[in-house]
Amino acid sequence: MYDVIGNVVDANDVAIKDVVVSDGKQKVKTDADGYYEIKTTSRTLTFNADKYAPNTFDLGKYKLGAKVNADVTLSGLTPMNQKNFFQKNKKTLMYVGIGLVVVVGGYFAYKKFAKN
């Protein structure tokens, strides 16, 4: 059985409270200082928290029965920035717009000048 302790922090080295640390069978949560303790026979721990990307820690490189300090850093989830989306896809969006104008304009021109 592994005796695991550790801290969970964000990219700015700030402790994260209420991170769920799981070995697949049991779950514990970090305290206000980001600290947790868990005893497990599992080889992998998973770390999940709201607004953060999940992370794992591999215990397989340690001998069973070892005391392990498993400090983990979680990265924040970043919502897609609309301004960056439009800037990166400016040409494609421009061509799609022009294509729509040509198709719709062509349809109306056809309808106007079509001989019945």
For residue 46, list its beta bridge partners. 22, 56
Pick the CATH number of 2-74 from 1.20.1440.130, 1.10.287.3610, 3.40.50.1980, 2.60.40.1120: 2.60.40.1120
Contact 22, 49 (CB under 8 A): no
Give the burial class of 85: count Cβ atoms within 10 A of its Cβ; 0-12 exposed, 13-18 middle, 19 or more buried: exposed
Q: 106 is written with which tokens?
A: 């062509």
Domain extents in the chain: 2-74, 82-113
Q: What is the pLDDT of residues 74-111, one digit of tens each?
A: 988 765 444 566 777 788 888 888 999 999 988 888 88
With a threshold of 0.75, does the pTM exceed it?
no
Residue 23 CB coordination number (10 Å): 19
Distance in angstroms (rounded) separating the CA atoms of residues 56 and 77: 16
pLDDT in tens, 31-70: 999 999 999 999 999 999 988 989 999 999 999 889 999 9
